[in-house]
Amino acid sequence: MNAGQRLRGLREKLGLTIRDVETASTQLAQKYSNEDYAIPISRLSDIETKGVIPSIFRLYSFAVIYRSDFRELLSWFGIDLDQMARDFHVVEPTRTHIVGALNSIASVQMPVRLDPAFDLRRTVNLGRMIERWGVAPLAFLQQFAGDGFTYGYIGTEDFTMYPLLLPGSFIQVDENRDKVVERAWSSEYDRPIYFIETRQGHTCSWCSLRGDDLILQPHPLSPVPPRILRNEHEAEVIGQVTAVAMRLSDWHPVGRGKAPRELKESN
């Protein structure tokens, strides 16, 4: 596929309409007081179907709206920033200088490109969604690249462990702790939460075993009912949740105006 077709593929996988893209890019244009960030519907259609190359401002808007790496989008249009050092031979300055271009190639390991299929609405194994580790200024996140750990994203429509784990949270998972431990727990914070892959996708849940069955036990305040799965055939315990990053202030279900209990009652 060409670059325009790839951009369209990203948009469709995220469930965004061309009107959604126009509206979001207009907000960026207003934020930065620069109309060059805006992507009108007619221009978006030309980019997707006629091979029109977007400006750097519109490409930034695409990167933000599609949750994509700006460097990767540039490469779709034939500009690979990782090739800069290899292309320095085209000119040989006579004076000694600092090569600022290499700063962006210095390696601090964290994910900089995700699978285009990454969907904010679904709980996923984020480790499997990473297509490339690369440069980023948030050096403290480098610990997540360690052996034995993966990390996940709790989908905005996954209320299994609500309100203990809010939808939209990022979690760290210890893959070495993939065996369900059962005993009397002193509190809900003491009981381990597991990251599980099922045939329908991923989720976080308390777990217990009953013979060969794996019981996924949601939080008591969650609107999600318990699930019983065949441990070997219908579910795989990826590991235990050991850390979480979530927003507490002004949180609300994305795209919804109802609280989880109201969602349950309306269903």
Reported confidence tier of residue 245, pLDDT bands at 50, 70, 90:
confident
The model carries a pTM of 0.48
Q: Which residues pair with 214 in a beta bridge?
A: 209, 229
Least confident of 57-61, 90-94, 197-201, 244-248: 90-94
Structure tokens at 32: 């930065």
Domains and CATH numbers, the chain: 3-82 (1.10.260), 124-266 (2.10.109.10)
CB 78 within 8 A of CB 99: no
Q: What is the pLDDT of residue 99?
A: 52
Reported confidence tier of residue 149, pLDDT bands at 50, 70, 90:
confident
Structure tokens at 47: 């980019």
Reported confidence tier of residue 33, pLDDT bands at 50, 70, 90:
very high
Mean pLDDT, all residues of the chain: 79
CB 156 within 8 A of CB 251: no
Q: What is the pLDDT of residue 100?
A: 54
Distance CA 153, CA 245 (A): 10
Percentage of residues of the chain with pLDDT beyond 90: 39
Please compute the mean of the pLDDT values over residues 10-38 and round it to a whole number.
95
Please compute the mean of the pLDDT values over residues 114-119 and round it to a whole number.
68
In 3D space, the residue among 50, 21, 54, 14 whose CA is nearest the CA of residue 36 turns out to be 54
Reported confidence tier of residue 93, pLDDT bands at 50, 70, 90:
low
Per DSSP, helices labelled H in 131-218 are none
Structure tokens at 122: 């679904």
The better pLDDT of the pair 33, 131 is held by 33
* 219-237 tens-digit pLDDT: 999 999 999 998 767 888 9
Reported confidence tier of residue 135, pLDDT bands at 50, 70, 90:
very low
Instruction: Please spell the DSSP secondary structure of 220-252, one letter per residue.
Output: TT-SSPPEEEETTTTEEEEEEEEEEE---TT--
Tell me: pLDDT of 118 over 90.
Answer: no
Per DSSP, helices labelled H in the chain are 3-13, 18-31, 41-49, 56-65, 70-76, 126-129, 260-266
Q: What is the pLDDT of residue 81?
A: 76
Reported confidence tier of residue 262, pLDDT bands at 50, 70, 90:
very low
Distance CA 175, CA 6 (A): 33
Reported confidence tier of residue 201, pLDDT bands at 50, 70, 90:
confident
Q: What is the pLDDT of residue 140?
A: 42
Q: What is the pLDDT of residue 228?
A: 92
Q: What is the pLDDT of residue 130?
A: 61
Please compute the mean of the pLDDT values over residues 119-131 and round it to a whole number.
66
- Asked if residue 253 has a cis previous peptide bond (ω within 30° of 0), the answer is no
Q: What is the CA radius of gyration of the chain?
A: 22
Tell me: pLDDT of 112 over 60.
Answer: no
CB 130 within 8 A of CB 143: no
Tell me: pLDDT of 265 over 90.
Answer: no
Residues 6+ apart with CB under 8 A from 232: 212
Angle between helices 41-49 and 18-31 (to 10 degrees): 120
Tell me: pLDDT of 47 over 50.
Answer: yes
Give the count of beta carbons closer than 10 Å to the beta carbon of residue 36.
Answer: 16
Distance CA 199, CA 205 (A): 15
